[in-house]
Structure 1
């Protein structure tokens, strides 16, 4: 496989510089500034390999207009020819997957966004064995004997390990940092293992790193992001004696394999069909490859499809994989605001092969995969347009900012206030067609949590208070905001916990928006506007659930929610970690138990996941697995140290 060297920013800088042309007299570069134009999100496929290479090289030149005004020329060239100094869930596909079986051998699953669509996580169980990968250590624990029956240590240069559990196989996905001479690159790998012995049965590797994956009906669907391998361009960019003609020549000398990721199956190199390479009107050179692998093997027939675009967020349904890419650009003048949008690509899976089946764009950015939902033939998308891009990419020197430097001759334009929007698209066989939208939610705020339940959206925005918006989506052409509940604090994760009940996990805050500790709010959603029924507050603490929904456990049979928690005390000197068990009643939420592990270290990561197996509540940390009685006094029953 080809080594992938450049980061996204360095790759984009190279592509920007590739668009420079010399003036007729051989003097300063002649640069034509072209305003940023939103992408059409309509992908086209190349007719062959020659056309693909030519098209990619042409796109490299076209990208110059977006980047040249930002001063990202790594070799020091500026547009004026002067060298710069370096450093210048719900019904249908959105049901929450809440276990309901009351049998003693029932066990919990990963907290997935969509029923029937499994998501990768650091722990899986089949009700007898617990498979976990923590700090590069893969372990199989027999919960009946309390023994670690198999383990494998992954290289310290590997990271982001996650698991899927099939019928007779364990799938481990990870990214490895590799070096070939002076070249450094990333390589994504998925191993199919015997779950008992951890022997490797199959291995698939591809240049890049995983964006995300889903498993549906024994099929793993993956999206892998990769960067171009253009070392000669990199050399020119950092060569003080090189000129723009050298740079153009380096770009022209690139080959298709420098842009398209390579892959291998069990050590045998594969090749992506040039006709399976798609591209939008504008792209930077990064690529995302979408493909499917059968959990039970037979990977030699894999047919990856590559899109010349970045990918940030994945949302999966039983038939589709949605890939979202956040895109931004600048106006031609220094005092204009940045533009932003999110491009959406839908891939329909049939017999293990993805087919591009629709594209669209929405304004602003997504929070996470919960900002997307497919229901009753429609895709619903929640986004925020705000000035966060200004802070990151504009230097943080807007009218409301204290600039860290002086002497700016041009003041940036005052950014438009942030707002949030819900957009609905009809999902056709080959198209996403907008049917309606509602906007101006949470003006001056941004989205902190989203949950789509059947034909209703619940959206939390926050700046100082937490409006919980209720949006009626029953008529896709006429969306309506029916409720705006304002309370202090915010919810960072929303989870249905019964008919007309919604649990929000987040932070309490003062009237000025200063957070004060963990808050769990129970909402009644029976009426057009939600109402607060009860709240649980834990001062000076937080939970990973706020940013990682996989850390959340809801066990319907016992009526409990379990959250990993870190307490830091009033003066940040009394750290401790554990898990809080919340009893969820019809109108109440109360603490049922506080669980700390036997080998608890207050300064460690603490409890990472919780799961139910039979009548036991298990907690997982880097130190080990612990079981406690499910219910009653939640007494500890076992400790399996790692």
Structure 2
């Protein structure tokens, strides 16, 4: 049924009012006056599409951008009709605003200071040993972290301080420099990249600006968030120098480094009264105004999402801004950035959905003669909107009055089931993840495509790119009279068109971890046990090859080799009440050589209930190297106890690292436990990381770096980071 024919008819009366009519028409009651709809409901609504579209447009002026947002804001506050996702509809193209007006922003250009040239012929450091780097998802796509190291030095940011450590050799390890960056009070240096002798440091800032409202005279303050990307030359470890300080409007979302290029994603509110268009400034005062792109699809909440690409060793910088919902989970390959977020349906869509529900779920459940009468009324072009509804209301009352009490109850049950089925279908069509694809090549950015897939993402490991295919795993869940939950895998082509799908995996369970490895996907779902799935992705038609059901679950999956996977999560057991009790940290080694019958080669459980590890929520906390045979995992154990009089006592905390040797013959062999904190109360928390240089394992926590020999785990040295008595100088 064409929803445009239904203008002015609201099924809030039909859905919520049916039960009221039922009560009113029960044997002990007399028929009552039909419900009257407020006249303003019948104002001519605007028709907008919520369906997916590939169309991307660029704002040609600030005035065009402002009018677009004003229109979007009014739609969220007015009665509007949206094309039904259940029954389809025609996509309406975006309104054309006046163009040709330049952005109302200054664009003064001043000469930029040159970066020192990068010496490609610098002496080789082959004399230094091998070393580990940050645990990342995609090879050659580095991820930011608060600790970075090379074959000799370690760099750590905490608070407003940068600490540079000469870590190798371990026996003479020392802190070379602890220096501050002049950042706003209350803010912290967030993450860093290390590229040869250059650091890129990220932190958050806020800027107060003023503007005068239209036709006003008093300046109004606006507080804009800024993300800083600071390039620091650390060639001279004792005298690092700031080369560039880029500030980008918006909150830091995430970043990646590929080769000598950095990609920073920031998000900021649009500020509807007067949109604050993102800008990129340099410490020299220069300003870059990115092009702003938008889409036809209405959103409940708009944000500016800016991708800024800049070179570490050259002058190149570029940026583009996209008006859409706030960027959520991102995935980055060597060629593309994928920005995702949960689809947000405009508020008025749910209001007008009741109308569509009435005519497509409730009316078909009525007796045929009632359906015919309602259709005749709606087809009568001589009637006003309110006259139509008044007659429909009379038809409903007449229909119910003719039924016996039992028949009336049966009819309402039939209607309720139809409503449940309809609502489930609507949730399936609206509970989606939006995916945007932007191609990257150095600092060149090119928007490629947009798509939607059913369900929600768990994290960045729910996505993968292989050749010209993008694979994504989601969990779909619908809540109402009937609850549904299941999991899906979708395959999209280079233009994000769906070419394959596997749906309704593990009903009533949700995804706890995923890992794409070449032509396979390993997936863990959980409700009471841990099904470990092996899914084939060698074609565009995914299929389950095998599964293993074991107690517990894995929050993180890590490749060991082509046929073995490491899982890290929690052990569980069924308690005396029939529920599931979570225990200590569980490390598993899965053998998937026989894909139809995967097995758990070995399992280790660390600690009891209350034991945790950062790896469960942050993959960068894990160190694994197959050649070295080392797996280092940070562990946090807490033991609660009570005094004899049942008074609470401070918990005993152990914080440190478990180091294992891992192979497919012996499984996990504990090499040693490295203690960083062992006392009652709580210690200062910064995060935990492990890395190695040569044959030394370095473990780092809040105030301590320990160095242990990888062969027998004996302690070689240790450094404490904090020295409150020392005066910290600030970098120029």
TM range (shorter): 0.7 to 0.9
CA distance in 2, matches of 1:589, 1:304: 47
Q: Deviations over 1:392-413 (max 9, x none)?
A: xxxxxxxxxxxxxxxxxxxxx3
Residues in 1 aligned to 2:500 and 2:76: alpha-carbon distance in whole angstroms: 32
Match of 1:597, SS state, is strand
Q: Is the 8 A contact 1:364 1:385 kept in 2?
A: yes
Three-state SS of the structure 2 residue aligned to 1:108 is coil
**Structure 2 CA distance for partners of 1:547 and 1:206, relative to 1, 3 Å:** same
SS at match of 1:438: strand
| Alpha-carbon distance in structure 1 between the residues aligned to 2:705 and 2:686 | 11
Aligned partners of 1:443 and 1:171: how far apart in 2?
45
Residues 270 and 469 of structure 1: is their aligned pair in 2 closer, same or farther, counting only changes over 3 Å?
same
Which is worse superposed, 535-544 or 52-61?
52-61
Separation in structure 1 between the aligned mates of residue 76 and residue 54 of structure 2, nearest angstrom: 17
Contact 2:47 2:80 survives alignment (8 Å)? no
Residue of 489, 492, 505 corresponding to 2:552: 489
SS in structure 2 at match of 1:568: strand
Tell me, in whole angstroms, the C-alpha distance in 2 between the residues paired with 1:130 and 1:31. 66
Deviation of residue 574 (structure 1)? 2.2
Matches within 5 A, 1:613-632: 613-632=693-712
Change (3 A) 1:27 1:479: closer
The within-5 A match list for 1:305-344 is 305-329=321-345, 331-332=350-351, 336=423, 339-344=430-435
Question: Which residue of structure 1 lines up, in the alignment, with residue 568 of structure 2?
Answer: 505
- The normalised TM-score by structure 1 is 0.76
Q: Which residues of 2 match residues 184-583 of structure 1 at below 5 A?
A: 184-195=223-234, 196=237, 197-230=239-272, 233=273, 254=274, 258-274=275-291, 276-283=292-299, 284-299=301-316, 301-329=317-345, 331-332=350-351, 336=423, 339-387=430-478, 413-427=480-494, 431-476=495-540, 478-511=541-574, 512-529=579-596, 530-538=598-606, 539-540=608-609, 541-569=611-639, 571=641, 573-583=651-661
Pairwise CA RMSD = 3.0
2-side partners of 1:52 and 1:184: how far apart? 20
CA distance change for structure 1 residues 515 and 298 in 2, over 3 Å: closer, same or farther?
same
Contact 1:36–1:66 (CA under 8 A) maintained in structure 2 = no
Range that drifts further, 326-335 or 544-553: 326-335
Deviations 1:252-303 (A, max 9, x none): xx3xxx14222212242524354x423351233211111211011415x434
Distance 1:546 1:364 in 2: 22
More helix by share: 2
TM-score (norm 2): 0.67
Inter-CA distance 65–377: structure 2 relative to 1 (3 Å threshold): farther
Cα distance, 1:372–1:34 mapped onto 2, change above 3 Å: farther
- Please, which of 174, 179, 189 is the counterpart of residue 147 of structure 1? 174
Moved more, 493-502 or 47-56: 47-56
Whole-Å separation in 2 of the counterparts to 1:357 and 1:66: 34
The 1:158/1:280 distance shift into structure 2, 3 A limit, reads farther
Per mean C-alpha deviation after superposition, the further-off stretch among 528-537 and 182-191 is 182-191
Matched-pair contact (CA < 8 Å) for 2:532–2:547: yes
Alpha-carbon contact 1:564-1:608 (below 8 Å) kept: yes
Q: Which residue of 2 aligns with 1:59?
A: 72
Q: CA 1:179–1:158 in 2, change beyond 3 Å: closer, same or farther?
A: farther
Helix, strand or coil for the counterpart of 1:57?
helix
Where does residue 405 of structure 1 map in the other structure?
Answer: none
Name the CA distance, whole Å, in 2 between partners of 1:444 and 1:597: 41
- Compared CA separation, residues 192 and 606, structure 1 to 2 (3 A): closer
How big is each residue's C-alpha offset from its partner over 1:416-462, in whole Å with a ceiling of 9 and x where there is no partner?
311110000111xxx22211010111211211111000010011111
Q: CA deviation at 1:38?
A: 4.5
Partner of residue 671 from structure 2, selected from 592, 600, 618:
592
1:135 is the counterpart of 2:159:
yes
Shift of 1:367: 0.8
SS at match of 1:268: coil
| 1:99-118 paired onto structure 2 within 5 Å | 105-118=129-142
Task: Kindly indicate whether the alpha-carbon contact (under 8 Å) linking 1:419 and 1:443 is maintained by their aligned counterparts in 2.
Answer: yes
Q: Is the 8 A contact 2:638 2:653 kept in 1?
A: yes
- Equivalent position of 1:635 in the other structure: 715
- 1:525 Cα offset (Å): 1.2
SS at structure 1 position matched to 2:73: helix
Q: Corresponding residue for 1:395?
A: none
Aligned partners of 2:232, 2:158: CA distance in 1, in Å?
A: 17
CA change 1:544–1:582 in 2 (3 A) is same
Contact 2:232 2:242 in 1 (8 A): yes
1:51-109, Cα deviation, whole Å (9 max, x unpaired):
333333322223446999xxxxxxxxxxxxxxxxxxxxxxxxxxxxxxxxx99711111
1:40 matched to 2:52: yes
Change beyond 3 A, Cα 1:267–1:501: same
User: Relative to structure 1, is the Cα distance of residues 33 and 502 closer, same or farther in structure 2, using a 3 angstrom cutoff?
Assistant: farther
- Quick check: which has more Rg, 1 or 2? 2
Distance apart, 1:606 and its partner CA:
6.9
- Give the aligned length: 530
Deviates more, 1:523-532 or 1:595-604: 595-604
**Per-residue Cα deviation, 1:464-520 (whole angstroms, up to 9, x for no partner):** 2111111101111x2111122111111000001123110000000113332111000
Mapped contact 1:489–1:513 kept (Cα < 8 A): no
Over 3 Å counting, the alpha-carbon distance change for 1:34 and 1:562 in structure 2 is: farther
Q: Check 1:160–1:368 CA distance in 2 against 1; reply closer, same or farther (3 A cut).
A: farther
Is the contact between residue 280 and residue 308 of structure 1 (CA under 8 Å) also seen in structure 2?
A: no
Q: Any idea what SS the aligned residue of 2:484 has?
A: coil
